[in-house]
Amino acid sequence: MRAPAQVKIALISSSPRRREILQMAGFNFRVLKVDVEERAYPSPYETAVKNAESKVLAAKELLADDEVALAADTIVVLGDRILGKPTSPAEAVEFLKRLSGAWHTVITGFALLIRNRLVSSFDESRVKFKRLTREEIEWYVSTGEPLDKAGAYGVQGKGALLIERIEGDFFNVMGLPISKIYDILSLELKK
């Protein structure tokens, strides 16, 4: 295993949560921003992975020779519906009403560009919300926290108060399944 600080990562993301996870794990990284329009594909898994791949490939020419590019896309799936980032407080309220008392799936697709090799995968976790009152939903939306997050909540913030149970990787729900990414990096960098 290679120490995380020995791997130079170009994080293709504007997410403060992804930066926080990489810092916590001890990675040496810089943030690159690219303008890529996210698209919907036939399955939620394909949507998350293909969007992550598009971001990594768009940054290819911006990488230093010794850098690994990393991008991710996190989506929330309730039944057969993808709940993206709400476009308004009213939509955030609707999302949270749907999630109240229900299980849903959080899928994070990720892509790595390692020595010009594209490696991609995903992780998924199941999350169950508590049964929420109208007042709890309105309070949470009034904090502004759900407005820039898939599914209208952040597990690492005030949204933690809404969650009854998580099955799977907490960091996947936060937006970056760092343990799985580290395992793949370790294998790929040995090649």
Only one residue has tokens 């990488």, namely: 63
Rounded CA-CA distance 126/77 in Å is: 10
Rounded CA-CA distance 74/13 in Å is: 11
Judge whether 73 counts as a catalytic residue: yes
Residue 54 in tokens: 């598009």
Q: Catalytic residue among 35, 65, 66, 73, which?
A: 73
Q: Cα angle at 71 between 68 and 74, to 5 degrees?
A: 155
Q: Is 107 helix (H, G, I), strand (E, B) or coil?
A: strand
Just list the catalytic residues.
73
